[in-house]
Every structure is written in structure tokens, then in C-alpha cells.
């Protein structure tokens, strides 16, 4: 193990602790102080659900005017033209109509708000804007952050002020490292025999990161051979499809079909990852459904909310397979990007095994969008 990797592993618990606490504060509607190694600092508040009074409070605490940072994709859906190569766009709240913060963050609430803003609302993106938006994403909220940059004269820069002292701190560097740290610290915490319909010889192994965050599951069917590539399905959780039997997607079919295919093959593993809605979370997936009902396809809906079309990461999957002693797989998937992602994480994909199911009247457009825009092979 190289020295740099060892240092990262040693720092993982502190990284996870800092980011999880900050994300929790944002979900409670409280601000956090974001800093970086260059000395930049800002107070950050999640835009989702933030009342105007809270924005006023943040301005008073920071002593500087508030701005709204959104992803470039969200800005485009609002009719704005982000600067070339920009990941995040910043808007001056002082120039926006009252009550607009929630609407700018959530397109399901104010579909005509784009008619009330213009390029004149754009300001130069300050340091930490991208990190602020990423932190809000990690909090499983809409990717929009209210920021109040701190300067040497800002009230909240003073360490002796009680309001400033009560604000949790997190760094840009910790946010950037969080996803890696969460994957590196996954630990097997439970292992039980769970006979399944169609696969009675199955057990479920639960993995949890050191911060106590979302657990990922490995469903092991039979006894995978050590001298041959293992049949594997990497499945992202889908509450609506897997549990409720939603017809809007093919997730339930893929989950049950994978269990059946692995059982018929004699052995294999299904990884069940806590990455609902291609990584945007259940609540945001429901918002995306609202936008789909207004005419957007599954990718456009995610992008209108401010997310990438697919926000999933596969570091946890690679870590889980490694801990299970699996380095070579035959992957049940229609998604070539998933093959590439696992390979990038050190897993050898020796074969892509097709894994598609008949469409229905409710998911036909969904499957067509995945094929034409994400390159899924059906």
C-alpha cells in the first residue's frame, strides 16, 4: 500500500464524520460553514424549503449578500446560458423576485419562473460554489445552495461570536473525498441465510460505511466458484419498482429476473445498492416523475431538477465484490457504461450478459429514452 493511500485511509473516519454532520444540518434547514485550503469561506444553506426569512437570517449572520448556486443543467432548464465549461451557475438573490428561491430550486413548484429571470441575474461564480452544490446533493436534497461568501470583514468570520461558533464546519477537500471514503470503509456487518422465491439457497450480506450511512446489500445465491468469472447483477434500489411493482420502469422485472437467472446458473451475486433513482434519491425521483408527466423524458427530468442524467457511482460495488473475493464477473446488464465503470474500479468484466424484459404501455417511452440517450442495449 502506498503512503498516499494509507494517509487517505487514516483520514476516512474524520472525512465521513464532517460531511455527514454537515449534510444533516442542511437537511434540518440549518447553515454550515464551508472552507477550503486556500482560505476561502462561505455560509451555506440548502435552497430546498428555505423560507425568505431564513435567507435574511443568513445574510445577517454572514454580513454579506446571499447568492444562489445551481448546476449548469438547472440553469439551462431556466433558460439561462451557463459560461462554457461551467458546472455551477450563481445567481444574485438581490435581483430576483421575492419567494423565488424555492421555485428556482424545484421546477415542480414554479414551472413559469424562467420567464422572470434573465442573464442579468448571473454573477461570477465564487470559490466553493461547486462544493456547496455537491454537499447539498450528498444531503439528498435538490442541487441548489444558498451561499453567503465570508470575507475578512464578515461578521461570521469572528471566532468569538456565538452564532458563528454554533455553525458546523466542513471543507471542500472533505466533500471531494467523501464518496471514496464511504466506499473504502464499507464493512461486512451482517450475514444471514434468506431463502428467496426461486432461489432458496441464498444469503444476504449487509455492508455499512464507517459513518453509519446507507447500507448496501450483497445477495449471494449458491456458492460462486473461485476459479471462474461470477455471474453478477449490480442493481440500484428502486422502491417503486422493486417493492410496489411500478409499471413506469423495468426495475422490478430486472431484480426478479436477475434472481431467477442467477439461480438457474447455479450460483452468482446480486448487489443491491442504495442509489435510488439513478442516484438522486426517492423524493427527487418522484419529482422527476412529475416532470415526466409534463412531457420530459426520464433523462430530461433529472436534468431539469439539476442533476446529471445518471448520478450513480460504482465504487461501493467494486469494494463489496473485492471483499467477497470476486475480481472477475459476467455482468447482467444492458448498460455499457456500467461495464466501463466496474472496469475502471478494478473489476474485470469478462462478458456482458443481456438482461432485458418486455415493455408495457407505461414504460415504453422510458426504455426508448434509455436506449437512444444512454446507449442501453435491448
DSSP string, 326-351: --EEEEE-S-HHHHHHHHHTT-EEEE
From residue 95, how far is each of 115, 151, 176, 285 by CA, in Å?
14, 21, 31, 31
Helix, strand, coil percent content, the chain, rounded in steps of 5: 45, 20, 35
Whether the CA torsion 169, 174, 179, 183 is positive or negative: it is negative
- Backbone phi, psi, residue 64, to 5°: -135, 160
Active site includes 28?
no
**What's residue 166's pLDDT?**
74
Tens digit of pLDDT for each residue in 346-367? 999 999 999 999 999 999 999 9
The pTM of the full predicted model, rounded to 2 decimals, is 0.89
Of residues 310, 328, 330, 352, which has the active-site annotation?
310
pLDDT: which is higher, 374 or 2 = 374
User: Above 60 in pLDDT, residue 190?
Assistant: yes
CA gap 250, 265 in Å, rounded: 22
Of residues 33, 74, 278, 312, which has the active-site annotation?
312
pLDDT: which is higher, 112 or 318 = 318
Tens digit of pLDDT for each residue in 294-319? 999 999 999 999 999 999 999 999 99
Active site includes 310?
yes
CA gap 330, 226 in Å, rounded: 13
User: Above 70 in pLDDT, residue 97?
Assistant: no
Q: Residue 55 has which C-alpha cell?
A: 435567507
User: Above 80 in pLDDT, residue 98?
Assistant: no
CA gap 272, 370 in Å, rounded: 20
User: Above 60 in pLDDT, residue 164?
Assistant: no
CA gap 335, 322 in Å, rounded: 21
Region 81-103 average pLDDT: 81
User: Above 50 in pLDDT, residue 157?
Assistant: no
User: Above 70 in pLDDT, residue 227?
Assistant: yes
C-alpha closest to that of 148 among 58, 50, 69: 58
For residue 304, list its beta bridge partners.
none
**What's residue 65's pLDDT?**
87
CA gap 147, 133 in Å, rounded: 10
State the Cα angle at 9 between 7 and 13, rounded to 5°: 115
Q: Residue 211 has which C-alpha cell?
A: 459513518
**What's residue 331's pLDDT?**
97
Q: How far, in whole angstroms, is CA 177 from its chain's centroid? A: 14
User: Above 50 in pLDDT, residue 6?
Assistant: no
CA gap 259, 268 in Å, rounded: 9
**What's residue 116's pLDDT?**
64
* % residues pLDDT > 70 (the chain): 91
CA gap 273, 321 in Å, rounded: 12
Region 185-206 average pLDDT: 96
CB 67 within 8 A of CB 149: yes
The band of 141, judged by pLDDT with boundaries at 50, 70 and 90, is: very high
Least confident of 223-227, 253-257, 264-268, 285-289: 223-227
Amino acid at each position: 500500500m502506498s503512503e498516499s493511500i494509507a494517509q487517505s485511509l487514516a483520514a476516512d473516519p474524520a472525512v465521513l464524520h464532517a460531511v455527514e454532520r454537515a449534510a444533516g444540518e442542511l437537511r434540518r434547514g440549518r447553515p454550515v460553514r464551508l472552507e477550503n485550503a486556500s482560505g476561502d469561506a462561505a455560509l451555506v444553506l440548502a435552497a430546498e424549503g428555505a423560507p425568505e426569512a431564513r435567507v435574511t437570517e443568513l445574510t445577517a449572520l454572514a454580513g454579506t449578500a446571499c447568492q444562489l448556486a445551481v448546476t449548469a443543467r438547472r440553469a439551462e432548464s431556466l433558460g439561462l446560458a451557463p459560461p462554457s465549461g461551467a458546472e455551477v451557475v450563481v445567481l444574485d438573490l438581490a435581483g430576483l423576485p421575492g419567494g423565488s428561491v424555492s421555485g428556482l430550486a424545484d421546477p415542480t413548484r414554479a414551472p413559469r419562473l424562467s420567464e422572470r429571470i434573465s442573464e442579468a441575474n448571473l454573477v461570477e461564480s465564487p470559490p466553493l460554489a461547486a462544493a456547496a452544490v455537491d454537499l447539498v446533493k450528498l444531503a439528498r436534497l435538490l442541487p441548489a445552495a444558498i451561499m453567503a461568501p465570508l470575507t475578512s470583514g464578515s461578521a461570521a468570520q469572528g471566532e468569538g461570536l456565538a452564532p458563528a461558533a454554533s455553525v458546523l464546519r466542513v471543507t471542500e477537500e472533505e466533500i471531494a473525498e467523501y464518496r471514496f471514503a464511504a466506499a473504502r470503509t464499507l464493512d461486512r456487518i451482517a450475514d444471514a441465510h434468506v431463502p428467496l422465491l426461486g432461489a432458496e439457497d441464498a444469503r444476504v450480506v449487509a455492508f455499512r460505511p464507517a459513518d453509519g450511512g446507507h447500507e448496501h446489500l450483497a445477495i449471494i445465491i449458491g456458492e460462486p466458484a473461485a476459479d471462474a468469472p461470477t455471474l453478477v447483477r449490480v442493481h440500484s434500489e428502486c422502491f417503486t419498482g422493486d417493492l410496489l411493482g411500478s409499471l413506469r420502469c423495468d426495475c422490478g422485472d430486472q431484480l426478479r429476473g436477475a434472481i431467477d437467472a442467477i439461480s438457474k446458473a447455479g450460483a452468482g451475486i446480486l448487489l443491491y445498492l442504495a442509489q435510488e433513482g439513478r442516484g438522486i434519491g426517492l423524493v427527487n425521483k418522484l419529482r422527476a416523475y412529475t416532470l415526466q408527466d409534463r412531457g420530459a423524458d426520464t433523462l430530461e427530468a433529472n436534468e431539469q431538477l439539476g442533476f446529471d442524467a445518471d448520478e450513480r457511482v460504482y465504487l461501493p460495488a467494486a469494494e463489496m465484490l473485492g471483499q467477497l473475493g470476486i475480481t472477475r464477473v459476467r455482468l447482467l446488464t444492458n448498460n455499457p457504461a456500467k461495464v466501463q465503470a466496474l472496469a475502471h474500479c478494478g473489476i474485470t468484466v469478462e462478458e456482458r450478459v443481456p438482461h432485458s424484459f418486455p415493455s408495457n404501455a407505461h414504460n415504453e417511452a422510458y426504455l426508448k429514452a434509455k436506449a437512444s440517450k444512454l446507449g442501453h442495449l435491448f
